[in-house]
Amino acid sequence: MKRIKRRYLAVQVQREALPTEREFVDAVWAAVTRLYGEVGASQTGLALIKFDAERRVAVIRVSLASLNMVRASLATITVILEKEASMQVLSVSGTLKGLYSRAK
């Protein structure tokens, strides 16, 4: 079977009150579903790897084929649970090691 290529994204969350892990993931799923529908969202392979509340940075994993879809969806997020929010992709890498070394 062909190996699925993945990408890891470090995403900074900007919101007055930091959302919980659950709220963050739901907001990302909702944005992807709004833009690409349920079938599109199911192809992203989206998963939350780490949520650093202190630095307001989340690490998510997506399939390489859907990287652009997820990036575009993240950019469209303006609200999380009726509170103003935005997300900024800090870096993208093929490995977690690479992502963390870039973050340093």
Partner 1 sequence: MTRCFADLHLRANLKDQKATQRVIIRAASLGYTQIAFASTSRLNEEEYAKLKAMCRDSSVDLVSRADFYPRSEMELTHFLRRFRRQFEVICILCDNKEVARQAAKDRRVDLLNFSSLDYRKRFFDRAEAELASGCLAALEVDVKPLLILEGPPRVRLLMSLRREVGVAREFGVPLILSSGVGEERFMRSPKDLASLAYLLDLDEAFALDAVSTNPTAIVTRNRKKLGSRFVAPGISVIKEGKA
| 84 part of the interface to partner 1, by CB under 8 A | yes
Among 43, 17, 12, which residue's Cα sits nearest to residue 29? 43
| 69 part of the interface to partner 1, by CB under 8 A | yes
Which residues, listed in sequence order, are joined to residue 6 by a DSSP beta bridge? 63
Write the CA distances from 42 to 46, 69, 86, 102, integer angstroms: 8, 12, 23, 29
| 52 part of the interface to partner 1, by CB under 8 A | no
Among 30, 75, 96, 103, which residue sits at the site for partner 1 (rule: CB under 8 A)?
75
| 86 part of the interface to partner 1, by CB under 8 A | yes
C-alpha 62/C-alpha 80 separation (Å) is: 21
Among 91, 95, 80, 34, which residue's Cα sits nearest to residue 58? 91
Among 42, 76, 95, 101, which residue sits at the site for partner 1 (rule: CB under 8 A)?
76
| 68 part of the interface to partner 1, by CB under 8 A | yes
Task: Determine the interface stretch with partner 1 among 22-30, 41-49, 52-60, 68-76 (rule: CB under 8 A).
Answer: 68-76
State the residues that interact with partner 1 by CB under 8 A: 14, 34-35, 68-69, 71-72, 74-76, 78, 84-86, 88-89
